[in-house]
Amino acid sequence: MASESTTQFPLFSKILNGGIAGIVGVSIVYPIDLVKTRLQNQNTSVGEKLYKNMLDCFKKTYAAEGYFGMYRGSAVNILLVTPEKAIKLTANDGFRHMLLDKNGKLTLGKEMTAGGLAGFCQTVVTTPMELLKIQLQLGAEKSVGQKASAFLIASRLISTQGVSGLYRGALSTILRDVSFSILYFPLFAHLKSLGSHNQGNDVTCDAPFYWSFISGCAAGGFAAAAVNPIDVVKTRLQAQGRLSQGPSPQQTGPTTMLMNNGKANPLALLNPSGEVKGGSRNIHQPNVPLELPYKGVTDAFTRIYKEEGWRAFFKGASCRVLVIAPLFGIAQTVYYLGVSEYILGDGSK
């Protein structure tokens, strides 16, 4: 790809390809992502274990909420995944383009740098998207009271904490997405190059579409499993303070309603990083086991390990791999098939 250093970077078509890739991928694998979130949010140190495994969670969710319940929170995810995937995939290509040497080559270190920077850029969209998605996915586990929506949750967060409220758990999201991208993009590029007749390991090398799919699945699955512990912490932090819909006798996840001087205050006590704000408060709830909120990333890591053991960091790992592997396989296939070029009538990629 020596010529790439002297050619114009097709920014708009790559952004459009990334957006299309994200929508197609998320629409297919979303129900597995919902199951993954609910499994990760289970704290086995308090209360009764609600879900035994992935299949049990699928069965109970479908029985209680039906087919459309499996897509709870998908609207906000599909809406925001367009800029999220566009930023991620386009930024990686852009940074790789910028870091090419005079011979049009990249060292492994530069590949990892490009991936990490792309992962960091996407968190601008990923953090609020994940926060709203998680709260909607978990909200259905409470069966009474006001039904939450993405608009209601976002409005409540903004009214109590400002725009920064949408970025609760930002640090854990950055840690997860940067780590994932550092692993994923270089691995994908090298795997994809194995199916190419060209020399080099650039992601834009010529390879059959099915090899792009296989490479995306393999790289995505490996990276997803590797960063699952961070994803568990992120899920726990972003699940805190979600809009209460009434206590459920079987609910075992993090406390969903904090009490301040005897008054319910579901969202106002957490800062954007997921830490607890304010002074003393009573978080005891009738018929709900006491579970103190996590104070931040370090506290969450420490307490999860002490209270639930190291296996807790791999809760939902199989679901996450089943989500991420096909998601990135589909996304990379759509991205490198150049759907936007076909739509725009531009034959060049």
Per-residue pLDDT of the chain (349 residues), as tens digits, is 444 444 565 677 777 777 787 788 888 888 998 999 888 888 776 666 788 888 999 999 899 888 888 888 888 878 887 788 888 888 998 999 899 988 888 899 999 999 999 999 999 988 998 898 888 888 755 544 456 688 888 898 899 989 989 999 999 999 999 999 999 999 999 998 888 766 555 555 677 878 889 999 999 999 999 999 999 999 999 888 655 444 443 444 444 344 444 444 444 444 544 444 443 343 333 444 446 788 899 999 999 999 999 999 999 899 899 989 998 898 888 777 777 667 766 654 4
Please, which residues have CB within 8 angstroms of residue 290's CB and are 6 or more apart in sequence?
46, 255, 283, 284
Token pair recorded at residue 242: 């979600």
- Which pLDDT value is given to residue 253? 42
Question: Is 300 buried (19+), middle (13-18) or exposed (0-12) by CB count in 10 A?
Answer: buried
240 contacts 272 by C-beta, under 8 angstroms: no
- Which pLDDT value is given to residue 59? 92
CA-wise closest residue to 39 among 252, 325, 181: 252
Please, which residues have CB within 8 angstroms of residue 8's CB and are 6 or more apart in sequence?
none
- Which pLDDT value is given to residue 200? 54
Query: Pseudo-torsion of CA 44, 47, 53, 58, nearest 10°?
Result: -140
337 contacts 210 by C-beta, under 8 angstroms: no
Whole-number Å distance between alpha carbons of 217 and 326: 5
- Which pLDDT value is given to residue 105? 86
- Which pLDDT value is given to residue 186? 94
CATH number of 2-344: 1.50.40.10
Task: Give one word for 98, left, alpha or beta, with left for phi > 0 and alpha for psi -120 to 50.
Answer: alpha
Question: Is 127 buried (19+), middle (13-18) or exposed (0-12) by CB count in 10 A?
Answer: buried
Whole-number Å distance between alpha carbons of 340 and 21: 10
C-alpha to C-alpha distances, 109 to 50, 89, 159, 177, nearest whole angstrom: 44, 18, 43, 17
C-alpha to C-alpha distances, 226 to 35, 84, 90, 297, 324, nearest whole angstrom: 19, 21, 23, 17, 12
